[in-house]
Amino acid sequence: AFTATVGLKPTYGLVSRYGLIAYANSLEQIGPMARNVTDIALLLNVISRYDENDGTSIPGKRPDYVYSAINPYDFKEHLKVGIVSEMFSEGVSEDVKKSVLRVLDKVSGEGVEIDEISLPSLKYALPAYYIIAMSEASSNLARYDGVRYGFRANTDGDWNKVYMETRAEGFGLEVKRRIIMGTFALSAGYFDQYYLRALKVRTLILNDFRRAFKRFHILVSPTMPILPFRIGEKIKDPLAMYMCDIETVPANLAGIPAISIPAGFVNNLPVGLQLMSRPLSEDLLLKVSKMFEDKIGLKDLIAPL
Domain definitions of the chain by residue range: 6-296
Query: Are 65 and 34 contacting, i.e. CB atoms less than 8 angstroms apart?
Result: no
Query: Are 198 and 131 contacting, i.e. CB atoms less than 8 angstroms apart?
Result: yes
- The predicted structure's pLDDT at residue 85: 96
Q: Domain 6-296 - what CATH class?
A: alpha beta
Q: Give pLDDT tens digits for 100-151.
A: 999 999 888 778 899 999 999 999 999 999 999 999 999 888 888 777 777 8
Query: Are 170 and 150 contacting, i.e. CB atoms less than 8 angstroms apart?
Result: yes
Confidence of residue 259 (pLDDT cuts 50, 70, 90): very high
Helix (H, G, I), strand (E, B) or coil at 286: helix
- The predicted structure's pLDDT at residue 128: 95
Q: Write down the mean pLDDT value for the chain.
A: 91
Q: Give pLDDT tens digits for 12-24.
A: 999 999 999 888 9
Q: Give the helix/strand (H/E) hosting 66.
A: helix 65-70
- The predicted structure's pLDDT at residue 76: 65
- The predicted structure's pLDDT at residue 38: 96
- The predicted structure's pLDDT at residue 108: 86
Measured CA to CA, the distance from residue 259 to residue 157 in angstroms comes to 49
What is the average pLDDT across 218-242?
A: 86
Q: Which residue has the higher pLDDT, 305 or 17?
A: 17
Question: Is pTM beyond 0.85 here?
Answer: yes
What is the average pLDDT across 96-101?
A: 94
Confidence of residue 251 (pLDDT cuts 50, 70, 90): very high
Measured CA to CA, the distance from residue 268 to residue 244 in angstroms comes to 19
Confidence of residue 75 (pLDDT cuts 50, 70, 90): low
What is the average pLDDT across 210-216?
A: 97
